[in-house]
Structure 1
Amino acid sequence: MIDPHLQHVPRLGRHPSRFRLAGTPVMTVMLGSSVTILPIVAQAPVMPPFGLLLLLSWRLLRPELWRAWIGVPLGLFDDMMSGQPIGSAMFLWTVMLIGIDAVEHRMVWRSYRQDWLIAAAAIIFCIAGGLFLARITGGGDIKLELVAPQMLWTILLFPFVVRQCARIDRWRVMA
């Protein structure tokens, strides 16, 4: 008699858990937003917003995964982690997701370069909008020139983050 623990279990026909399918993208965005609590000291904003990068990556990689309202809870978590005024990422991320939906409905097909262009516009919108909202709520006098390197670094980092999301996505849907 063969021990049941040593038998081969076929992977065909098995499905991943619902938590794995739905929770993995949310958890990665939350982990990306949590990177801001690392003890890094800098004179100017140099750290890319990893939560935003992961949200964009998941949205452009898997458009059917989330609705536009997901920007509200994930933005709230990002606001709490980053120290931005509460509601800034909630508002900016939701508007960004609605804008991406509007652009996608007008496009017949999308290529990798178009995804990168969409992500670049979204990154510039969210970082500049976060700077504006922080400034009007008394967050200091940070000029756009100080944030421009962060924008550029974030845009250049986007392809790497999309590849990592694709790897995580392969694991996520694998049974």
Structure 2
Amino acid sequence: MNQRIRGAFDDDEPTLLYRLIPALSVMAGSLTTIVPVIAGIGLLPPFGLLMLLAWRLSQAEAIAIWAAPLLGLFDDLVSGQPTGCSMLLWSLCFIAFDLVDQRLVWRDFWQDWALAAGALAFCLILGRLVASPLGAHVDTVLLAQILVSSLLYPVIVRLVAWIERTRDPA
């Protein structure tokens, strides 16, 4: 039995729901793609990816690195992307963020925003290359989607901060 002996001043172990809330919020963000929205062009940002980036950049330990491919699989199944596309791209983003965390001593909000914008552009461009033929004329819409998604990042960070504040048991 490898149970750790708790001392008088040790924090209580977090509940299962406390640990699942970040993943459930990313899954809820991925589920926004099934909401019927009538639009002339596809500018709907990838809310699942935005939630994942916001959790990873604001609370690094909230979502484990091994959870990115599982959440990516859920996003692939819900959004209609080729299976494995989000799994690979989200995992690569997490690995890149870990490398950045090793190099930088600290980051501020502007650096997080720049990292998120780069990760969004990376995932959307490579997702476009995988999902649609090269002859498709979607580059202008893709650039607009990257811009809208990048500008929406601070709102999603505020939402994640609110979720974090409400889930905090203290």
TM-score, structure 2 as length reference: 0.87
**1:20/1:71 CA distance change after superposition, 3 Å:** same
| 1:109 positional shift | 1.1
Count, aligned residues: 161
Q: Which residue among 27, 30, 37 is the counterpart of 1:30?
A: 27
What is residue 85 of structure 2 aligned with on the other side? 88
Spell out the pairing of 1:12-27 with structure 2 (5 A cutoff): 18-27=15-24
User: RMSD across aligned C-alpha pairs, in angstroms?
Assistant: 2.0
Q: Which has the larger displacement, 73-82 or 143-152?
A: 143-152
Amino acid at match of 1:146: V
What is residue 62 of structure 2 aligned with on the other side? 65
| 1:16 positional shift | 7.9
Alpha-carbon distance in 2 for matches of 1:35, 1:68: 23
Equivalent residues of 1:29, 1:52 under 8 A apart: yes
Alpha-carbon distance in 1 for matches of 2:35, 2:13: 32
Equivalent residues of 1:30, 1:74 under 8 A apart: yes
Report which structure shows greater RCO (CA 8 Å, sep ≥6): 1
What is residue 4 of structure 1 aligned with on the other side? none
SS of equivalent residue, structure 2 residue 37: coil
Q: Which residue among 140, 151, 160 is the counterpart of 1:145?
A: 140
Equivalent residues of 1:123, 1:154 under 8 A apart: yes
| 1:21 positional shift | 1.8
Q: Deviations over 1:130-174 (max 9, x none)?
A: 1011025x9x82422121111101100000100110110011122
Amino acid at match of 1:174: P
Q: Which has the larger displacement, 117-126 or 61-70?
A: 61-70
| 1:17 positional shift | 5.0
In the alignment, structure 1 segments of 5+ residues that lack a partner are 1-12
Does 2:170 match 1:168? Answer: no
Between the aligned residues of both structures, percent identity stands at 41
Equivalent residues of 2:33, 2:78 under 8 A apart: yes
Q: Which residue among 72, 96, 105 is the counterpart of 1:108?
A: 105
Amino acid at match of 1:79: D
What is residue 152 of structure 2 aligned with on the other side? 157
Does 2:131 match 1:134? Answer: yes
Alpha-carbon distance in 1 for matches of 2:37, 2:121: 23
What is residue 6 of structure 2 aligned with on the other side? none
SS of equivalent residue, structure 1 residue 68: coil
SS of equivalent residue, structure 1 residue 48: coil
Alpha-carbon distance in 2 for matches of 1:162, 1:27: 16
